Amino acid sequence: MVLFVTGGSRGIGRAIVEAAVVAGHDVAFTYREAGAAAEEVVDWARAHEPDARCRAYRLDVRDAAEVERVGDQVLDDFEAVDAVVCNAGILRNGVAAQMSDADWNDVLATNLTGSFYVARHFLMPFLAQGRGRLVFIGSLAQNGISGQANYSASKAGLVGLSKALAKEYGRKGITANVVVPGFFDTDLTREGMASGHKDFWNTYCPLGRMGHLDELARVVLFLASGASSFVNGAEIPVTGGLDWAS
Ligand code: NAP
Protein backbone atom coordinates (compact mmCIF):
# COMPACT_ATOMS: atom_id res chain seq x y z
CA MET A 1 0.00 0.00 0.00
CA VAL A 2 1.14 3.56 -0.68
CA LEU A 3 0.13 6.23 1.82
CA PHE A 4 0.27 9.99 1.49
CA VAL A 5 0.43 11.66 4.92
CA THR A 6 0.38 15.42 5.47
CA GLY A 7 2.40 16.75 8.41
CA GLY A 8 4.55 13.65 8.78
CA SER A 9 7.60 15.43 10.16
CA ARG A 10 6.46 15.45 13.77
CA GLY A 11 3.99 14.14 16.32
CA ILE A 12 1.03 12.08 15.20
CA GLY A 13 1.92 12.31 11.51
CA ARG A 14 5.41 11.03 12.15
CA ALA A 15 4.01 8.13 14.18
CA ILE A 16 1.70 7.23 11.28
CA VAL A 17 4.58 7.36 8.80
CA GLU A 18 6.77 5.16 11.00
CA ALA A 19 4.01 2.64 11.71
CA ALA A 20 3.27 2.42 7.98
CA VAL A 21 6.92 1.83 7.12
CA VAL A 22 7.25 -0.87 9.78
CA ALA A 23 4.11 -2.52 8.39
CA GLY A 24 5.81 -2.72 4.99
CA HIS A 25 4.05 0.14 3.24
CA ASP A 26 5.49 2.90 1.07
CA VAL A 27 4.95 6.43 2.33
CA ALA A 28 5.06 9.91 0.87
CA PHE A 29 4.73 12.51 3.59
CA THR A 30 4.86 16.26 3.85
CA TYR A 31 6.24 18.91 6.16
CA ARG A 32 5.87 22.66 6.09
CA GLU A 33 8.98 24.04 7.77
CA ALA A 34 10.69 21.26 9.69
CA GLY A 35 12.94 20.02 6.89
CA ALA A 36 15.52 18.61 9.29
CA ALA A 37 12.87 16.67 11.21
CA ALA A 38 11.48 15.33 7.93
CA GLU A 39 14.97 14.22 6.90
CA GLU A 40 15.27 12.40 10.23
CA VAL A 41 12.06 10.50 9.49
CA VAL A 42 13.36 9.49 6.06
CA ASP A 43 16.66 8.35 7.61
CA TRP A 44 14.75 6.44 10.30
CA ALA A 45 12.72 4.66 7.61
CA ARG A 46 15.85 3.82 5.62
CA ALA A 47 17.53 2.38 8.73
CA HIS A 48 14.52 0.33 9.84
CA GLU A 49 13.09 -0.85 6.51
CA PRO A 50 15.70 -0.45 3.78
CA ASP A 51 13.28 -1.76 1.14
CA ALA A 52 10.47 0.66 1.96
CA ARG A 53 10.08 3.79 -0.12
CA CYS A 54 9.70 6.79 2.17
CA ARG A 55 9.98 10.32 0.81
CA ALA A 56 9.42 13.77 2.26
CA TYR A 57 7.89 16.70 0.35
CA ARG A 58 7.73 20.32 1.40
CA LEU A 59 4.12 21.48 1.29
CA ASP A 60 2.01 24.20 2.81
CA VAL A 61 -1.50 22.75 2.60
CA ARG A 62 -2.98 26.27 2.68
CA ASP A 63 -1.76 26.80 -0.89
CA ALA A 64 -4.01 25.05 -3.43
CA ALA A 65 -1.50 25.35 -6.27
CA GLU A 66 1.23 23.82 -4.10
CA VAL A 67 -1.08 20.95 -3.17
CA GLU A 68 -1.67 20.28 -6.88
CA ARG A 69 2.05 20.43 -7.68
CA VAL A 70 3.20 18.23 -4.81
CA GLY A 71 0.28 15.83 -5.27
CA ASP A 72 1.23 15.37 -8.93
CA GLN A 73 4.87 14.88 -7.98
CA VAL A 74 3.92 12.17 -5.47
CA LEU A 75 1.81 10.39 -8.08
CA ASP A 76 4.74 10.57 -10.52
CA ASP A 77 7.17 9.23 -7.92
CA PHE A 78 4.95 6.46 -6.51
CA GLU A 79 2.76 5.70 -9.58
CA ALA A 80 -0.33 5.33 -7.38
CA VAL A 81 -1.55 6.29 -3.92
CA ASP A 82 -3.95 4.04 -2.02
CA ALA A 83 -4.66 6.11 1.06
CA VAL A 84 -4.42 9.77 1.99
CA VAL A 85 -4.14 10.87 5.60
CA CYS A 86 -5.01 14.55 6.16
CA ASN A 87 -3.17 15.10 9.42
CA ALA A 88 -1.46 18.52 9.18
CA GLY A 89 -2.97 20.83 11.75
CA ILE A 90 -2.28 23.79 14.01
CA LEU A 91 -3.66 25.48 17.12
CA ARG A 92 -3.97 29.23 17.71
CA ASN A 93 -5.79 29.45 21.02
CA GLY A 94 -7.63 32.46 22.37
CA VAL A 95 -11.06 33.54 23.48
CA ALA A 96 -13.40 34.30 20.61
CA ALA A 97 -14.04 37.91 21.63
CA GLN A 98 -10.38 38.70 21.13
CA MET A 99 -9.48 36.30 18.35
CA SER A 100 -7.65 37.96 15.47
CA ASP A 101 -8.63 37.45 11.84
CA ALA A 102 -5.20 35.90 11.32
CA ASP A 103 -5.66 33.30 14.06
CA TRP A 104 -9.12 32.40 12.78
CA ASN A 105 -8.08 32.23 9.12
CA ASP A 106 -4.81 30.40 9.65
CA VAL A 107 -6.43 27.57 11.59
CA LEU A 108 -9.33 27.18 9.17
CA ALA A 109 -7.00 27.40 6.17
CA THR A 110 -4.66 24.73 7.52
CA ASN A 111 -6.95 22.27 9.28
CA LEU A 112 -10.05 22.42 7.10
CA THR A 113 -9.38 24.04 3.73
CA GLY A 114 -5.94 22.40 3.45
CA SER A 115 -7.50 19.00 4.08
CA PHE A 116 -10.09 19.72 1.42
CA TYR A 117 -7.41 20.71 -1.11
CA VAL A 118 -5.50 17.50 -0.45
CA ALA A 119 -8.57 15.24 -0.57
CA ARG A 120 -9.78 16.96 -3.74
CA HIS A 121 -6.46 16.39 -5.47
CA PHE A 122 -6.49 12.65 -4.87
CA LEU A 123 -10.16 12.08 -5.72
CA MET A 124 -9.50 12.00 -9.48
CA PRO A 125 -6.77 9.34 -9.26
CA PHE A 126 -8.88 7.41 -6.73
CA LEU A 127 -11.83 7.49 -9.17
CA ALA A 128 -9.58 6.33 -12.00
CA GLN A 129 -8.32 3.35 -9.98
CA GLY A 130 -11.77 2.60 -8.52
CA ARG A 131 -10.63 2.70 -4.91
CA GLY A 132 -9.10 4.97 -2.30
CA ARG A 133 -9.10 5.76 1.37
CA LEU A 134 -9.36 9.23 2.90
CA VAL A 135 -8.56 9.53 6.57
CA PHE A 136 -8.96 12.87 8.33
CA ILE A 137 -7.45 13.58 11.73
CA GLY A 138 -10.14 15.33 13.75
CA SER A 139 -10.35 16.19 17.42
CA LEU A 140 -12.73 16.09 20.37
CA ALA A 141 -12.78 19.85 19.78
CA GLN A 142 -15.29 19.12 17.02
CA ASN A 143 -17.86 19.37 19.83
CA GLY A 144 -16.45 22.68 21.01
CA ILE A 145 -13.62 23.49 23.41
CA SER A 146 -13.43 26.76 25.28
CA GLY A 147 -10.61 28.96 24.00
CA GLN A 148 -10.49 27.09 20.71
CA ALA A 149 -13.36 28.48 18.61
CA ASN A 150 -11.20 28.44 15.46
CA TYR A 151 -9.80 24.97 16.07
CA SER A 152 -13.21 23.57 17.10
CA ALA A 153 -14.85 24.99 13.97
CA SER A 154 -12.11 23.56 11.76
CA LYS A 155 -12.44 20.08 13.26
CA ALA A 156 -16.26 20.13 13.14
CA GLY A 157 -15.89 21.14 9.50
CA LEU A 158 -13.70 18.12 8.83
CA VAL A 159 -16.51 15.84 10.01
CA GLY A 160 -18.93 17.45 7.55
CA LEU A 161 -16.36 17.26 4.78
CA SER A 162 -15.60 13.61 5.44
CA LYS A 163 -19.25 12.58 5.66
CA ALA A 164 -20.06 14.42 2.43
CA LEU A 165 -17.20 12.69 0.60
CA ALA A 166 -18.28 9.35 2.09
CA LYS A 167 -21.67 9.77 0.46
CA GLU A 168 -20.45 11.33 -2.78
CA TYR A 169 -17.83 8.66 -3.52
CA GLY A 170 -18.76 5.53 -1.55
CA ARG A 171 -20.20 3.85 -4.62
CA LYS A 172 -16.92 4.48 -6.44
CA GLY A 173 -14.92 2.46 -3.92
CA ILE A 174 -13.64 5.50 -2.04
CA THR A 175 -14.19 5.77 1.70
CA ALA A 176 -13.73 8.77 3.99
CA ASN A 177 -13.47 8.62 7.76
CA VAL A 178 -12.40 10.80 10.65
CA VAL A 179 -10.15 9.60 13.45
CA VAL A 180 -10.83 11.55 16.63
CA PRO A 181 -7.70 11.53 18.79
CA GLY A 182 -7.83 12.20 22.49
CA PHE A 183 -4.78 13.63 24.18
CA PHE A 184 -1.35 12.68 22.81
CA ASP A 185 1.98 14.12 23.83
CA THR A 186 3.22 16.12 20.84
CA ASP A 187 4.61 19.60 20.20
CA LEU A 188 1.03 20.74 19.54
CA THR A 189 -0.26 19.76 22.96
CA ARG A 190 3.01 20.60 24.74
CA GLU A 191 2.90 24.15 23.40
CA GLY A 192 -0.82 24.72 22.93
CA MET A 193 -2.63 22.94 25.72
CA ALA A 194 -3.10 24.58 29.11
CA SER A 195 -1.95 22.53 32.11
CA GLY A 196 -5.55 22.62 33.41
CA HIS A 197 -6.69 20.84 30.27
CA LYS A 198 -4.00 18.18 30.73
CA ASP A 199 -5.05 17.59 34.34
CA PHE A 200 -8.67 17.38 33.21
CA TRP A 201 -7.70 14.78 30.69
CA ASN A 202 -5.78 12.54 33.02
CA THR A 203 -8.51 12.84 35.68
CA TYR A 204 -11.54 12.13 33.52
CA CYS A 205 -10.21 9.83 30.79
CA PRO A 206 -11.56 6.36 31.68
CA LEU A 207 -8.13 4.89 30.94
CA GLY A 208 -6.57 7.50 33.23
CA ARG A 209 -3.80 8.51 30.88
CA MET A 210 -2.93 10.15 27.59
CA GLY A 211 -2.60 7.99 24.49
CA HIS A 212 0.55 6.51 23.02
CA LEU A 213 1.18 7.63 19.46
CA ASP A 214 1.32 4.06 18.15
CA GLU A 215 -2.18 3.45 19.56
CA LEU A 216 -3.45 6.14 17.22
CA ALA A 217 -1.28 5.16 14.26
CA ARG A 218 -2.63 1.60 14.34
CA VAL A 219 -6.21 2.82 13.93
CA VAL A 220 -5.21 5.11 11.09
CA LEU A 221 -3.46 2.23 9.32
CA PHE A 222 -6.58 0.09 9.71
CA LEU A 223 -8.72 2.80 8.12
CA ALA A 224 -6.16 3.25 5.35
CA SER A 225 -6.19 -0.45 4.55
CA GLY A 226 -8.50 -2.82 2.71
CA ALA A 227 -9.53 -4.25 6.09
CA SER A 228 -11.76 -1.21 6.66
CA SER A 229 -13.71 -1.72 3.41
CA PHE A 230 -17.18 -1.26 4.99
CA VAL A 231 -16.25 1.60 7.31
CA ASN A 232 -17.34 4.84 5.66
CA GLY A 233 -18.43 8.24 6.94
CA ALA A 234 -17.45 7.24 10.46
CA GLU A 235 -15.88 9.11 13.33
CA ILE A 236 -13.59 6.75 15.20
CA PRO A 237 -12.62 7.94 18.67
CA VAL A 238 -9.16 7.04 19.90
CA THR A 239 -9.58 8.77 23.22
CA GLY A 240 -9.33 6.11 25.89
CA GLY A 241 -13.08 6.51 26.35
CA LEU A 242 -13.28 10.22 27.11
CA ASP A 243 -15.97 11.64 24.86
CA TRP A 244 -15.97 15.30 25.79
CA ALA A 245 -13.64 18.09 26.76
CA SER A 246 -14.39 21.51 28.17
P1 NAP B 1 2.39 18.71 15.67
O2 NAP B 1 3.30 17.84 16.45
O3 NAP B 1 2.40 20.18 15.92
O4 NAP B 1 2.66 18.44 14.10
C5 NAP B 1 1.93 19.18 13.15
C6 NAP B 1 2.34 18.75 11.76
O7 NAP B 1 1.56 19.51 10.80
C8 NAP B 1 3.79 19.04 11.45
O9 NAP B 1 4.29 18.01 10.62
C10 NAP B 1 3.74 20.36 10.68
O11 NAP B 1 4.83 20.54 9.77
C12 NAP B 1 2.45 20.16 9.90
N13 NAP B 1 1.86 21.42 9.44
C14 NAP B 1 1.46 22.47 10.21
N15 NAP B 1 0.97 23.44 9.42
C16 NAP B 1 1.06 23.00 8.14
C17 NAP B 1 0.71 23.54 6.88
N18 NAP B 1 0.19 24.78 6.74
N19 NAP B 1 0.93 22.80 5.77
C20 NAP B 1 1.46 21.56 5.88
N21 NAP B 1 1.82 20.98 7.04
C22 NAP B 1 1.62 21.72 8.15
O23 NAP B 1 0.86 18.26 15.86
P24 NAP B 1 0.20 16.85 16.25
O25 NAP B 1 -0.16 16.88 17.67
O26 NAP B 1 1.02 15.74 15.71
O27 NAP B 1 -1.17 16.97 15.45
C28 NAP B 1 -1.42 16.30 14.23
C29 NAP B 1 -2.91 16.35 13.97
O30 NAP B 1 -3.60 15.71 15.06
C31 NAP B 1 -3.49 17.77 13.89
O32 NAP B 1 -4.48 17.81 12.89
C33 NAP B 1 -4.11 17.97 15.25
O34 NAP B 1 -5.18 18.90 15.22
C35 NAP B 1 -4.61 16.58 15.55
N36 NAP B 1 -4.84 16.29 16.97
C37 NAP B 1 -3.79 16.16 17.85
C38 NAP B 1 -4.04 15.86 19.18
C39 NAP B 1 -2.95 15.64 20.18
O40 NAP B 1 -3.25 15.28 21.33
N41 NAP B 1 -1.68 15.82 19.81
C42 NAP B 1 -5.36 15.70 19.62
C43 NAP B 1 -6.39 15.87 18.72
C44 NAP B 1 -6.11 16.14 17.39
P45 NAP B 1 6.26 21.12 10.33
O46 NAP B 1 6.83 20.04 11.18
O47 NAP B 1 7.07 21.36 9.11
O48 NAP B 1 5.95 22.36 11.10
Mind listing the pLDDT tens digit for each residue in 152-169?
Answer: 999 999 999 999 999 999
Domain spans of the chain, in order of start: 2-237
CA–CA separation, 5 and 194 (whole Å):
28
Q: What is the pLDDT of residue 171?
A: 98
User: Is 151 part of the annotated catalytic residue set?
Assistant: yes
Q: What is the pLDDT of residue 172?
A: 98
What mean pLDDT, rounded, does the chain reach?
96
Nearest-atom index, ligand 1, CA of 189: 41
Q: Which fold has domain 2-237?
A: Rossmann fold (3.40.50)
User: Is the pLDDT at 179 greater than 80, yes or no?
Assistant: yes
Mind listing the pLDDT tens digit for each residue in 93-118?
Answer: 999 999 999 999 999 999 999 999 99
User: Is the pLDDT at 184 greater than 80, yes or no?
Assistant: yes
Residue having the nearest C-alpha atom to atom 10 of ligand 1: 7
Nearest-atom index, ligand 1, CA of 191: 3
